[in-house]
Structure 1
Amino acid sequence: MALTLNTNVIVFLFMILGTWASLAMSRTLHEAAMVEKHEQWMVQHGRTYEDQAEKEMRFEIFKQNLEFIENFNKAGNRSYSLSINQFSDLTDEEFLASHTGYKLIHAQSRISTTSFSYENQTEVPSSLNWREQGAVTDVKDQGSCGCCWAFSAVAAMEGITKIKKGTLISLSEQQLLDCSTNGNYGCNGGLMNNAFEYIIDNQGLTSESNYEYQEMQGNCQTQMELVAQIQSYQKVPRNNEEALLQAVAKQPVSIAIDASGIKSYSGGIFDGDCGTNLNHAVTIIGYGSETDGTEFWLIKNSWGETWGEDGYIKMKRNADAAEGLCGLAMDASYPIA
């Protein structure tokens, strides 16, 4: 009996050891696969690190981001998908600190807060894409400078210039970064309205080719040919997606959003987790609906073409909250040419 008992115990112990070994092997293989994916990602995005310690730290962040993305997509219960991208070795906090830049710092505004020229606009198309009208330039990349406010303002101005003048010109964000300093703080944040104020006072803006983007604030260059002008700008009534629709039906519109949930967005209609802590500026360049009836805004971002849907994001339209999904209806404005 004792021999039988001992044999059973030994078999049991071997089974436990085998299970542990299998789990250890599985973990080792998983870790090796993660390391390989990180190495491939580094090559793809040209990422290098200062030393081995930084590389190991960034690998852990990359692994956590990738595991979250894989689990999210595997669940398959949302209307959008995630993927690794150029931001995948950053924490959410690092990402928001370095790649957004909407900052609610007000300068004195010359416009009436009640002015909204499109309030009687009752006939609007069921869908619209200003790209198809030739009123949207290629997606740009603000990099690690927090000047989304400049890219949002420029995209809206490029749109209305094409609509009114018939010519699409890529305009200069760098001019705003260097010269629009009344209520804007370069890579440390700003507001589209303050950018519009500068353009009005300066009697125009030069082209991207004349004043190229440097991803940092520099000295204001004043001897530049001005290729586009605006007369004024207006605010869309706050927390009113119907008014926002009226405006977008006429031209691209600058808006602010809470970007806390979109770092790894790769496609579909975003309806995810975000609040109303506005921290990023983008530009609505259209709207529409999917075959299942889900309505969306089509939004141009400034994180390059490798992010999202070739640099764009679809965000759910007519969300339950009055302020719109991620606060997109809280602070919208548009230039008047």
Structure 2
Amino acid sequence: HTYRLGVNQFSDITDEEYRQMLTLDVSALEGQQTYDKKPYSIKAQLPESVDWRTKNVVSAVKNQGSCGSCFAFASVDTIESAHAIKTGTLVTLSPQNVIDCMGNPGVCTQGSYMHLAFEFIIKEGGLDKEESYPYKGVYHKCSYQAQYSGASITGYANVTSGDEDALQEAIATNGPVVVGIDASLSTFRSYKSGVYNDKKCKNAFRDLHHAVVAVGYGTENGQDYYIVKNSWATTYGDHGYIKMARNANNHCGIATYALYPTGTK
């Protein structure tokens, strides 16, 4: 193994309880997505490694709790980073704003899509700061107030599905990217450190049940990896992060459904 497992907050819950947390369901997107096709000829010029955390544009690891709100956390994280890269100021934004105001009371058990979160924020024209709209972990009536908005976006782009070169370029040239992954395996649940690479991990749209953020990439002992930010508190993995195998046949579907905000304001 190139990775180590450990005891964390998920060690004592049942497989069923764990599965209930994994609410992303993008099986309907199979073959539906439109991609921003461009020739990826610049791979040679991309840096060997990127870690946006070192640029002070990635917020602290958050905790979604038992609500299936990964899509909101991961999408909001990328907007925080895009805004910080553009303005030089890192503002922590509110996933609860997204959960409450997208209009689905069953969101904690049903989850949603990251592109719908982006579309909602574009339409709304803003996103409140975490401090003015704190996380509750359950669905509430929408209480978005434009005067507390910390950032917004005017668009988003999809990474060409399954193309890890395109994902690498998006991370290097744009910033953190929100990705859907297969997080269903017990090895993912118990991950502690090293480069996560489990041959049982799947990569089709229907296998992606969790949303996370790729905040960088690199290579360790000859194994390429992505630096992935989770929303399961700092007790998960390596201080809340997991290194996931890169250039390993789209391991866990990390490049299957990947997108990032454009035009932050």
Write out aligned runs for 1:168-207 (5 A). 168-181=90-103, 185-207=107-129
1:328 is the counterpart of 2:249? no
Distance 1:172-1:326 versus aligned 2 partners, 3 A rule: same
Q: Is the 8 Å Cα contact of residues 178 and 258 (structure 2) preserved in structure 1?
A: yes
Aligned length: 252
Distance 1:252-1:116 versus aligned 2 partners, 3 A rule: farther
Instruction: Note the C-alpha offset of 1:183.
Output: 11
| Corresponding residue of 1:306 | 235
Distance 1:153-1:117 versus aligned 2 partners, 3 A rule: farther
Q: Is the 8 Å Cα contact of residues 128 and 145 (structure 2) preserved in structure 1?
A: no
The one-letter amino acid of 1:85's match is N
Distance 1:113-1:182 versus aligned 2 partners, 3 A rule: farther
Distance 1:176-1:307 versus aligned 2 partners, 3 A rule: same
- Output the CA distance in 2 between the equivalents of 1:152 and 1:139: 10
In the TM superposition, what whole-angstrom CA distance separates every residue of 1:111-135 from its partner, at most 9, and x where no partner exists? x813257846442110010000111
- TM-score normalised to structure 1 length: 0.71
Which residue among 150, 153, 172 is the counterpart of 1:230? 153
- TM-score normalised to structure 2 length: 0.89
In the TM superposition, what whole-angstrom CA distance separates every residue of 1:282-324 from its partner, at most 9, and x where no partner exists? 000000001x2111000000000001000000011000x2xx1
The one-letter amino acid of 2:11's match is S
The runs of at least 4 aligned residues of structure 1 exceeding 6 Å deviation read: none
Instruction: Note the C-alpha offset of 1:186.
Output: 4.2
Instruction: Note the C-alpha offset of 1:180.
Output: 1.7
Which residue among 98, 101, 104 is the counterpart of 2:26? 104
| Corresponding residue of 1:166 | 88
- Output the CA distance in 1 between the equivalents of 2:6 and 2:28: 36
Instruction: Note the C-alpha offset of 1:100.
Output: 2.4
Write out aligned runs for 1:110-129 (5 A). 113-116=34-37, 119=40, 121-122=42-43, 123-129=45-51
1:275 is the counterpart of 2:202? yes
- Output the CA distance in 2 between the equivalents of 1:316 and 1:208: 32
- Unaligned 5+ segments in structure 2 are none
- Output the CA distance in 2 between the equivalents of 1:230 and 1:183: 24
Which residue among 158, 178, 184 is the counterpart of 1:260? 184
Q: Which stretch has the larger CA shift, 251-260 or 215-224?
A: 215-224
The one-letter amino acid of 1:283's match is V
Q: Is the 8 Å Cα contact of residues 184 and 194 (structure 1) preserved in structure 2?
A: no
| Corresponding residue of 2:7 | 84
1:289 is the counterpart of 2:219? yes
- Output the CA distance in 1 between the equivalents of 2:58 and 2:39: 21
Instruction: Note the C-alpha offset of 1:101.
Output: 2.2
In the TM superposition, what whole-angstrom CA distance separates every residue of 1:218-271 from its partner, at most 9, and x where no partner exists? 000132421201110010000100000000102100000000121111111000
In the TM superposition, what whole-angstrom CA distance separates every residue of 1:81-127 from its partner, at most 9, and x where no partner exists? 11111111122232021x222122879xxxx8132578464421100
Q: Is the 8 Å Cα contact of residues 271 and 325 (structure 1) preserved in structure 2?
A: yes
Distance 1:211-1:119 versus aligned 2 partners, 3 A rule: farther
Distance 1:201-1:232 versus aligned 2 partners, 3 A rule: same
In the TM superposition, what whole-angstrom CA distance separates every residue of 1:2-30 from its partner, at most 9, and x where no partner exists? xxxxxxxxxxxxxxxxxxxxxxxxxxxxx
- Larger Rg: 1 or 2? 1
Q: Which stretch has the larger CA shift, 267-276 or 252-261?
A: 267-276
- Output the CA distance in 2 between the equivalents of 1:223 and 1:133: 30
- Unaligned 5+ segments in structure 1 are 1-77
Distance 1:125-1:326 versus aligned 2 partners, 3 A rule: same
Distance 1:183-1:117 versus aligned 2 partners, 3 A rule: farther
% of aligned pairs identical? 41
Q: Which has the higher helix share?
A: 1
Distance 1:184-1:167 versus aligned 2 partners, 3 A rule: farther
Q: Which has the higher contact order (CA 8 A, sep 6+)?
A: 2
Which residue among 205, 214, 239 is the counterpart of 2:162? 239
- Output the CA distance in 1 between the equivalents of 2:106 and 2:50: 32
Q: Is the 8 Å Cα contact of residues 100 and 146 (structure 1) preserved in structure 2?
A: yes
| Corresponding residue of 2:56 | 134
